[in-house]
Amino acid sequence: MASSADLKRKVISILDMLFPEYERVFSDLFGKTSSKLLMEYTTPEEILAVDREELAAFIAQHSRNRVGLGKAVELKSAAESSFGIDMALDAYRLCISLRGKNKETNQHKNNTP
């Protein structure tokens, strides 16, 4: 079973591919507000699709009204300028391709006398 530290490293790695600008908006990626936000709106596309006021209300609710509209505007701006979407798709395609090739190679080795 993976440790908490291992899971956090994996989340950071994936987030760096999907939305590298996110860490500039939320310094504590694993804080309550950030965690709830990432569970609800995982990609820059999803953040851009939600209404600014709805996003601000969501952030305010999960931060006990410490942050809201300003953080929503900052997050939407980061999502608009994000370069992570295309990069992530290409990275995932490469990973899938390499996993498939590795599996084929291992099957071939196992079937060779």
33/15: higher pLDDT: 33
* Model confidence, pTM: 0.70
Mean pLDDT of 56-76: 94
Looking at the predicted structure, is the pLDDT value of residue 1 above 70? Answer: no
DSSP string, the chain: ---HHHHHHHHHHHHHHH-TTHHHH-S-TTSHHHHHHHHH--SHHHHHHS-HHHHHHHHHHHTTTSS-HHHHHHHHHHHHT--HHHHHHHHHHHHHHHHHHHHHHHHHHHH--
19 occurs within a structural domain: yes
Question: Two tokens at 112?
Answer: 């060779």
The mean of the pLDDT values for the chain is 81
106 occurs within a structural domain: no
90 occurs within a structural domain: no
1 occurs within a structural domain: no
Structural domain boundaries, residue 73: 10-84
Please count the structural domains in the chain.
1
5 occurs within a structural domain: no
pLDDT at 27: 86
75 occurs within a structural domain: yes
Looking at the predicted structure, is the pLDDT value of residue 104 above 60? Answer: no
94 occurs within a structural domain: no
Whole-angstrom distance, CA of residue 109 vs CA of residue 113: 8
* Confidence class for position 87, pLDDT limits 50, 70, 90: low
50 occurs within a structural domain: yes
